[in-house]
Structure formats: C-alpha cells, structure tokens
Structure 1
Amino acid sequence: MPRTQFVAAPPAGSDLKQVSGPATNWIAQLLRQRRDPIAAARADEAAYGPLYVLNIFGGKWIIANGPEAAQRILMNKDRVFANGPAWAPLNGPFFERGLLMLDFDEHKSHRSIMQQAFGRSALTGYLDVLHRIAEQHIDSLPEGSVAEGDPVLMHRHLEQLTLDVALEVFMGVRLSRTEAAAMSRTIIDTLHAGAALVRVPIPGNKWWRGLRGRRTLEAFLGERITAARREQGSDLLSVLCQATGEDGTRLTDRDIVNHLIFLLAAAHDTATGTLTNMVFYLAKHPEWQKRARERSLELPARLGYDELGELTELDWILKETTRLFTPIQIEPRAAVADTEVCGYHIPKGSLVVVPTLANHYRTDIYSHPEEFDPERFSDERAEHKRHRMAWAPFGAGPHKCLGQHFAGLEIKTVLHQLLRKFEWEIPEDYVMPVDMNATPLPEDGLPVTLRRR
C-alpha cells in the first residue's frame, strides 16, 4: 500500500472533509503526470476522491477535479483565490507583473485598460494584417511527401506565421527571417522555462535561458515604447500606450513591457500549438478535412469578422482540438483565507489546481472523450454545455484569457486559407509525439505530405 499524506485538518466541529493523497516524491509525481496526465488523474481521483494532494515542484498541490470545483475556484466570487502567488513559483521570474500575476482590484484596473485592445472594433482592425500575413505564408508553403522523404514540417511553418502575426499586430514590427527565428527562440525559452526541473539559473539550462529571454524581450519592447507613445498607430502596443482607465490613469512603460512579454509568449505559443494540432487532426481524419474545405470554398477567400462565424465545421474542429490538446492545461490558485471546495477544507496558503485538461476527458460529461468527434459541439449534441465549466480551454472568471477572441480570428483565418489552397495527409500508422511541458506541441515538427490544390 502506498503511503498517504494529508493537508491540515478541518476546524474542530466542522463537517468538511480533509484532503489526502499519495506521499510520492515530487520528481516521480511530476514525471508520472507528464507521461500520462489523464490516466494519472483518473487513478488518483478513484483512490482519493475529487480533491487530493500531490507533491509537485517540492510543494503540496491540491488537485480539484470536476466542473463544480472549477466553477467554485475560477469564478472566485468571494475573492478567496489569488492568481499571482500560485503562478509565481512556476513562472514568476519570467512574467513578473504581467496580467497573469495580478489580482483583485489591481488586476481589474489593468485588464480594463488592456481590454480596449481586444474589443470588437480593435479585432476588426487587425483582420487586414491577419489576412495578408496568412496569405503570404501559405502561398509560400512548399510541397512535400512523407513517402518520398521530403515531408513538410508544419509546426515550423506555422510557428513563423504566428510570430509574424504577433509582432506586427502587437507592435507593428516586421523582422527578417533570421531575426524572427531568434525572436521565436527567445519567446519559447521564456515561456517553457517554467517547466524546468532544475529551478535555479545554471548557464545553458532552461531556467537560465528563460531569464535571458526575459531580459532580451524587455530590451526589445523598451526600445519601441517611446515611439508608440508619440505616434497614433493601430497595433496593440500603440493602443496600450494611448489607452486610459476609467479614472484617467495610463499604464506605465514598465507595465506595458510586463504585459506585452506575457501576451507575446502566450499568443505565439498557444496559437501555434492549436493550429498545429488542428492540422494533425485534419490529416488524421480526412473526412473532416473535406467537410471543412467544402465550407471554406463556399465563402470568399478573405472573410470579415462576422463571416468567420460562418465556418461552422472549423469552429467545431477548433473546439474539439482545444478540448483534446488544451492550451492551458492547469489553472493554479492560492487560497488567501481558509475556505472550502466541494465539501473539502482548503487551508489558507494552499496551492489549489484546476486540472482543465483532465476535466476535458471526463466520461461523466463527454461521450468517448478520447475520440476526436467535433460534432459533440453541434447545437444538436452540445456536450460542452452540460456544465458551464465542461469546456474551458482559455480559463474562466476574472482571469479568463483576454486574447481568446483574437486567437479564434487568427486560427480560423489561417486554416480557412490553408484549406482553400492545400490538401495534406499523414501515414495511417503515424502517432504524433507530444511535448506536454507547456502548450502541447509535436516533438517532431509534424511531418505531413502537402499538395497544392
């Protein structure tokens, strides 16, 4: 029998339950979670109940499974769960005082200013840039064949595309291919450093590369703020430099640097990962590629804001892909006071984690959750509406991803163009090796056979 550990007992006379879990060392536990997070979550919930404690990164994490726990924690109506203290041990040095790290009134104030860059009018204004960059990249894609030994590595091409989008839409910047490749590496180093097992800077290790990436991004952004303050540009940086809050306050230069570092990393990585994973599923399920293409061919090459909503099948595929390969796999929060979740006692100071990826595979919500089945999101079935937290790939509540709608526009624009101009396939026996350290990404670049239509 494995040893059991506990968190603090509920107050005397309370009818709340005490959280328990396996007393496994944290490295073994982390490797187990990364190897097969769904199987690990199901086994632990069966053994210890919906809430259990794990040792991860040298601390105790209370894992709160299921949509009811997610709603209680993420909606945070009593303001008892904080983001900053929970994310800081994971990636605090890299995203210091970004929107992810702020809480309560300060977070609300900063978010209200930043929202001006993600409203409908701003998003509509970004579409011309999205279309132009998508067309340039997709028109220049090479053809290639897996069988003939010259496959097209789709992840690499999509990574370049999304970086160009992020740089031009966010900052009005265009880089050479060499500069863009270096910037992409810098962003990835910064984002992925939080998954390092060795969490001190040793030259060459992940933590060290993340800190170096942070410094590089600070310098890159700092050089551009003075001009953005002076000019009335339409890129996101210019909007943030001009935007004011309800009380007339503006973000400081340091605030803008902090927020843009997080936005650049999050937008670049999650958009690349989701696009790549959608390409994989459309290759693995050619009947869905055919259905999505037929809809795209019925519509103009360049779609407006509302027209993108007519890509029904592509919307289902996007939702199903982010269910199976969730961009934000976990949502950690720190309890700032004693509280309860689903009848369990949560002591002040506890790190509580909503396992979004595991929730997306729950058999009490989704039929055959391991299967790729986009129609589960159709109006007729609507499995994702069985609970408001059944599908939450971009979080929920006050910290729900600010760029969710921008990501949707970008992803649909790119896939719409790709479907109209190319067909692609993978060998029947191909199994995509996935790096689950941050946003799920293919370790082999996703080699496909790509043919121009």
Structure 2
Amino acid sequence: MTDTSPASMVDATAAEDVVAAPRDAVAGASTAALREAPHHRSWPLIGSSLAYIRDAHTFLRRLYECHGTVAKIDAFGTQCHFLFGPDANQFVLQNRGNLFENARWSYFIGPFFNRGLMLLDFDEHRLHRRIMNTAFAHDALLGYFDRMQATIASELDAWRPGQCLLFKRLKSMTLNIGSEVFVGQKPGSDADAINDAFLDTVQAATSLIRFDLPGGRWHAGIKGRRLLERHFRAALPAKRANPGPDLFSRLCEARTEDGDLFSDDDVVNHMIFVLMAAHDTSTITLSNLLYQLARQPAWQERLRDECRAIGPGALTFADLDRFEDTSLAIKETLRIAAPVPMLPRGVTTDCAFDGVRLPKGAMVATSAWMTHHMPEWWTAPHLFDPERFGPARAEDKRHPFLWTPFGGGAHKCIGLHFGMMEVKAILHQLLLRFRFTVPDGYVMPQDFTSLPIPKDRLPITLERLN
C-alpha cells in the first residue's frame, strides 16, 4: 500500500525472502537448552481478555516490559504466546520451513469469514492467491480507480458542515465504494444492514462467550455472516451470467494456468472476506489520519496544499505518485494505529524464538501495534511525525520487519495497493472540500474489541471551504 505505481504491482514477498532469519530463531530445537515462555497470570476463566479489550496498547507494552520478547497469556478462551519486536515479526511472517500456519485465525474469525484468503495455508493459499491476483493487478486497479472517484464525489456532495461522527460517515462511504467497485452495483436498501453485519462479524472475534447465545457478540456475528451469505449467493447467478469489470465478476471468471475456477462457495467466501478487509482497514486508516490532521492543523494545511497543487479535478492513476507528503502521513498513521494490531499463527513443529520453546500446536502472535511503538526503534513513537518516514530519517528502514501494517511474507495483504489508492482518493477530495477540527485537548479513545476503531466514533467539526 505504500506505492501504487505500475512498477510496484509486484508482491513484496520476493524482497523479503532474501533477508536472513533472526539469529535466535530456530526450528526443531532441542528442548533441553530452552526455557519455557514466561506466563502472564491474570483472572480465572477470562484471563487477560478484558485487559486487552480495554486498552491493547497499554497491555501489550506491559507484557513486553514485564517479560521481554516472549510472553504467554490466557485470553478469549485460549492460550497465546506473544512474540515482540521486528526480529519476531521476521521469524513468524517470513515463515521459513512452514513453521507456522495461518489457519489459527479460524479460532477467532473462522465461523464468520470461512475460508477467506487469510485463513488458508501453503499450496491451497498459493492457488487461491494466484487466482485472486488477477483481481488486484494493474489493469483491474485502473478500472476500480475511475469508478471509485465518482462514488467519492457523490458521497461528499451529501456531507454538510457542522459536527458529525466521522467514523460512521467514513464507514458508510467505504462500504458504498466497495459495493460499486467490488460488487458492481450501487448500495441497495439493505446497505445499513450489511454495514452492521460486517461490524458484528469482526467484533465477534474476541467474544468471551464463544457459542450462539442470543444477545451475545458471537450470536450477532453468526447472524451477520448469514445475512452476508444470503446477499452474495442471491447475486451470484446473475454475476456469472453477465460479468462486468468488478471484483465479483473477476472472481467468477478468474482461472489459474491449469484452468481451475473458483466454486460458488469460494467466490462467496472471498467476497465476504475481501469486502470486510478492504472497507474496514481503509475506514480505520482514514479515521486515525483525519483525527491526527485535526489535531495538527499545520500538517492538514500542508496536505491540502499538496492536493491543490495536484488539482481539483479527477485524478489520473499517475497522480497517485505525486502525493509525497500525503504518503508520509499515511505511513505514519499506519505506524501509530495499525488496522490489524495482532497476527495469530499456529505452530506446526517444535521451534524456538529468543531461547524460548514454542511447542507444536501452540498459538503464537506478533503485534505490529507493539513493534510500531517501541522507543528502542522509533524516535518519540507517541508523536505524529510523518517526516520520520522521509529519506533524511527513514526510521522504518532500520529493520526490514519494523514497519509491518500489512503483515509480510506469503500472506502479505493482497489489497495493499488498492487500500493506498482508496485512502489517497478520499483524502484528496475531502481536503479540498472541508477543513476539520476537534476541541483542544481531545484524545480519541480506541476500541480494541476487535479491529481498533474510535470508541466514540470520532466526533469532529467540518467547515466547508470555498
């Protein structure tokens, strides 16, 4: 998502594969020379679940300060080894020797995002990713970009000055963009219900009661999944019969070099997962970026000046490379508030990290959120400072796995270029139409129930520009 030029439409995995594994990460290690992971004790039954939901940022930092690079916790009905720091990110995400499986995501989101790309592993994952790559290739992005800009303009035409809950507006906008670009149709009368269903399925991941009990988050997630399945299954026959330039059609038509097509179940599963991932992560990024710009008016004006220099009309694909300051601000936003704060994996064979045994069958997790706030690696990590990503400082280049908002390795986010394109396109039109402010001293509270979203939905004041 950091570069949307045609030359960049290559999976960044290849560059990562040449990086050597961390010295202290080993597979098949003899357990005699290893120590057990320090166990962070907490409440009976619920463990550290509430501490994580209440403030994941503070909780993860405390884990690291108390226990170092590896800590074992009990939370959400399971046990997890957290591995901290860029070396841990490299060890797990590069995944040399297939030591880790992504299928462990299923524990959290399997019932709601069944067989989404992120939940598949190894040969099956490679097959599905090859098919889906056609839907995110350069030519596909060009088509999405033109449709996206018209939808953004139409959405912003309806915005009025004054105070609003910006997160809700942005979530509605990005879902509408997703409907146009990915599904190939304008949102229908069920748009609000679909938006609620996506929110329910995501927030069900950290349910303390993990069965279908009416009134619980797990129950809401199950209902949301059923609604989304009905929605896409109903549209599938017409889409197969009359395909268009949208992602839905491309998934219906895409073939591997061996001629393999996706089944109906595969298409529905991938549509639900991709539409969730695309609109949720963009909404989180935009919310956090606009919050930071509202608190930092000098940066807001700097980005607005850049947008004015590019021009008020429709953007071309080549224009995306001209957003230099904007790109720095987006990268800094993704550092401060990674949309996916933790990445769980399952251990497939006994291995070790930093002298700590990781037994086969265990769950491990890395945390971009934690790594992105480590003062050992970042200058004043609590500050919004986009210039840390500029060529003069390049703090993110201190380690190849220091800045990982999109994961890495074989499972690096397939939609990262689409995401950057969408955020830039929305920000460009928004900055040219509105100035936005928050009260002095306002601090946006994060809700870590699942993906981090503004707990108060970000009340912000919009002022229309002439």
**d(CA) in 1 for partners of 2:160, 2:455:** 21
3-state SS, counterpart of residue 27 of structure 1: coil
CA offsets, 1:114-164, max 9 Å, x none? Answer: 0100011111111111110111111221011xxxxxx12211211111011
Identify which of 43, 59, 77 aligns with 1:40. 59
Is 1:413 aligned to residue 425 of structure 2? yes
Partner of 2:36: 18
Q: Does 1:203 align with 2:214?
A: yes
CA distance in 2, matches of 1:13, 1:436: 35
Indicate the residue corresponding to 1:373 in structure 2: 385
Aligned residue identity for 2:250: V
For the Cα contact (< 8 Å) 1:68–1:342, is it kept in 2? Answer: no
1:30 and 2:42 are equivalent in the alignment:
no
Q: TM-score, normalised by structure 2?
A: 0.91
Is 1:231–2:235 an aligned residue pair? no
Aligned residues: 436
Q: Is the Cα contact below 8 Å between 2:41 and 2:47 reproduced in 1?
A: no
Deviation of 1:11 after TM superposition, in Å, equals 7.3
Q: Is the 8 A contact 1:332 1:351 kept in 2?
A: yes
Match of 1:71 in 2: 90
Partner deviation per Cα, 1:297-346 (whole Å, 9 max, x = no partner):
00133222221121111111111111111101001100111112233221
In structure 1, what is the equivalent of residue 147 of structure 2?
129
- Correspondences of 1:54-93 after superposition (within 5 Å): 54-84=73-103, 86-93=104-111
Alignment of 1:140-155 (within 5 A): 140-144=158-162, 151-155=163-167
Q: Aligned partners of 2:53, 2:144: CA distance in 1, in Å?
A: 36
CA–CA separation in structure 2 for the residues paired with 1:61 and 1:360? 20
SS class of match (1:241):
helix
Determine the C-alpha separation between the residues in 2 that align with 1:279 and 1:183. Answer: 25
| Matching of residue 305 in structure 1 with residue 317 in structure 2 | yes
Q: Confirm whether residue 391 of structure 1 aligns to residue 410 of structure 2.
A: no
Aligned to 1:257: 268
Within-5 A mapping of 1:314-329:
314-329=326-341
**Deviation >4 Å, runs of 4+:** 10-13
> What TM-score do you get using the length of structure 1 for normalisation?
0.93
What's the counterpart of residue 116 of structure 1?
134
Amino acid at match of 1:105: D
Structure 2 equivalent of residue 166 of structure 1: 178
Looking at structure 2, the residues matched to 34 and 171 of structure 1 have their Cα atoms a distance apart, in angstroms, of: 33
User: Per the alignment, do residues 224 and 354 of structure 1 end up closer, same or farther by CA in structure 2, a change over 3 Å counting?
Assistant: same
Whether the 8 Å contact between 2:56 and 2:448 is mirrored in structure 1 is: no
Q: 1:267 aligns with which of 255, 273, 278?
A: 278
2: CA distance, partners of 1:156 / 1:19: 41
The separation in 1 between residues aligned to 2:159 and 2:281, in whole angstroms, is 21
Instruction: Report the CA distance between 1:39 and its aligned residue.
Output: 3.0
Higher RCO structure, 1 or 2 (CA under 8 Å, sep 6+): 2
Cα 1:223–1:283 shift into 2, 3 Å:
same
Contact 1:191–1:266, Cα closer than 8 Å, also in 2: no
2:55, 2:446 within 8 Å by CA — same for their partners in 1?
no
Q: Identify the residue that residue 288 of structure 1 maps to in structure 2.
A: 299
- Structure 1 residues 11 and 365: alpha-carbon distance in aligned structure 2, compared to 1, 3 A threshold: closer
Query: Are the structure 2 counterparts of residues 14 and 431 from structure 1 closer, same or farther at C-alpha, using a change threshold of 3 Å?
Result: same
CA distance in 1, matches of 2:168, 2:77: 35
Match among 404, 416, 422 for residue 416 of structure 2: 404
Name the CA distance, whole Å, in 1 between partners of 2:237 and 2:30: 59
Deviation at 1:230, TM superposition (A): 1.8
Q: Which amino acid in the other structure matches residue 271 of structure 1?
A: S
Q: Is the 8 A contact 1:83 1:332 kept in 2?
A: yes
Greater mean deviation of Cα atoms: 308-317 or 443-452: 443-452
Tell me if the contact between 2:49 and 2:75 (Cα under 8 Å) persists in the aligned partners.
yes
Q: Secondary structure at the match of 2:384?
A: coil
Other-structure match for 2:21? none
- Alpha carbons of 1:451 and 1:19: their partners in 2 closer, same or farther (altered >3 Å)? same
